[in-house]
């Protein structure tokens, strides 16, 4: 996806949020915000995708903070909150009349946990809202048919917290479709995105093969991915992509990708001509 001038204000919002989450001293916070305003934003190349620009900005912020994981505490907190919801989410599938639909919705519901764009939320309420919500784009039959035919799935993870929701969906896919899943996470901390450490903590390795995509961008920007991942990506017959960041990074790639996410900003809303907050299951082919 293209980057729009409006993304600049969102990048500044991310900066402010990041220095706060890092609990830097007030004077350091101010210094870093000014530095980004003066020396990063005016020079942004809008031809790059939003996750790529965001990556470059966060490399700078992390350097200035002298902290390679400013979201560390927040990530731990939301991993734990998500884990505490695990039993009730599992039982929602068990009790559901349409188990597959509920499983897909739980995977999307996990996407409400995202500090990149939204600040205020209430996870439990948001999860229930999504379970009661209709999809705005819903390539459901296509997705089901694909799952019946293709057993090897590349699953692009998104955020911490959300990974527990992914785990539930993955367990369902394995049980129902006998899928073999590669679960790809980020190489280094970026915003609250999940890394190998998080995926292992969530014990996703009990069900899927965990790997790093090699990138440290909030969204799988292929030019930063490692060779091993790119080979798997290239050969994949079915890719499940979680979150708006992965959509922004990959929507122009002609591959059998199913994007699962909630629309979190006006620009993506305008791009898809749908209201903000819409939930999406979109086939890219």
The site for its own copies (CB under 8 A) is made up of 5-6, 8-10, 12-13, 16-17, 20, 29-30, 33-34, 37-38, 41-42, 119-120, 266, 269-270, 275-276
Residue 216: phi and psi, rounded to 5, are -120, 35
Q: Which two tokens stand for residue 240?
A: 């499940």
Q: SS3 of 102, please?
A: helix
**Shortest distance, CB of residue 3 to its own copies, whole angstroms?**
12
Distances (CA, A) of 233 to 161, 204, 256, 271: 24, 20, 10, 25
**Shortest distance, CB of residue 273 to its own copies, whole angstroms?**
11
Nearer to its own copies, 5 or 87 (CB): 5
Q: Which two tokens stand for residue 82?
A: 């998500």
| Dihedral angle sign, alpha carbons of residues 201, 235, 56, 270 | negative
Nearer to its own copies, 12 or 101 (CB): 12
Distances (CA, A) of 240 to 4, 162, 202, 259: 26, 14, 19, 6
**Shortest distance, CB of residue 70 to its own copies, whole angstroms?**
15
Nearer to its own copies, 32 or 208 (CB): 32
Q: At what angle do helices 99-109 and 123-131 cross, to 10 degrees?
A: 140
Nearer to its own copies, 256 or 277 (CB): 277
Q: Which two tokens stand for residue 143?
A: 């997705």
**Shortest distance, CB of residue 255 to its own copies, whole angstroms?**
30
Nearer to its own copies, 38 or 252 (CB): 38
What distance in Å separates the CA atoms of residue 15 and residue 17, rounded to the nearest whole number? 5
**Shortest distance, CB of residue 36 to its own copies, whole angstroms?**
9
Nearer to its own copies, 83 or 137 (CB): 137
Are the beta carbons of 209 and 182 closer than 8 angstroms?
Answer: yes
**Shortest distance, CB of residue 275 to its own copies, whole angstroms?**
7
Q: Which two tokens stand for residue 31?
A: 């210094």
């Amino acid at each position: 996806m293209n980057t729009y001038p409006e993304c600049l204000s969102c990048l500044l919002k991310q900066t402010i949020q990041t220095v706060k989450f890092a609990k830097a001293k007030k004077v350091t916070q101010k210094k870093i915000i000014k530095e980004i305003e003066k020396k990063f934003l005016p020079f942004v190349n809008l031809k790059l995708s939003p996750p790529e620009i965001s990556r470059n900005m966060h490399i700078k912020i992390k350097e200035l903070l002298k902290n390679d994981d400013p979201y560390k505490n927040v990530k731990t907190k939301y991993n734990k909150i998500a884990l505490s919801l695990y039993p009730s989410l599992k039982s929602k599938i068990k009790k559901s009349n349409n188990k597959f639909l509920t499983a897909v919705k739980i995977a999307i519901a996990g996407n409400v946990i995202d500090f990149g764009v939204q600040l205020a939320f209430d996870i439990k309420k948001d999860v229930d809202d999504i379970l009661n919500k209709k999809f705005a784009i819903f390539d459901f039959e296509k997705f089901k048919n694909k799952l019946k035919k293709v057993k090897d799935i590349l699953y692009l993870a998104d955020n911490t917290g959300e990974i527990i929701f992914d785990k539930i969906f993955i367990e369902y896919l394995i049980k129902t479709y006998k899928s073999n899943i590669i679960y790809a996470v980020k190489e280094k901390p970026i915003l609250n995105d999940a890394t190998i450490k998080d995926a292992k903590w969530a014990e996703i390795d009990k069900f899927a093969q965990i790997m790093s995509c090699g990138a440290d961008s909030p969204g799988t920007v292929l030019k930063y991915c490692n060779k091993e991942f790119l080979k798997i990506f290239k050969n994949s017959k079915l890719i499940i992509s979680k979150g708006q960041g992965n959509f922004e990074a990959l929507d122009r790639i002609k591959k059998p990708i199913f994007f699962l996410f909630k629309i979190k900003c006006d620009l993506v809303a305008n791009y898809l001509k749908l209201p903000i907050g819409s939930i999406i299951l979109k086939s890219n082919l």
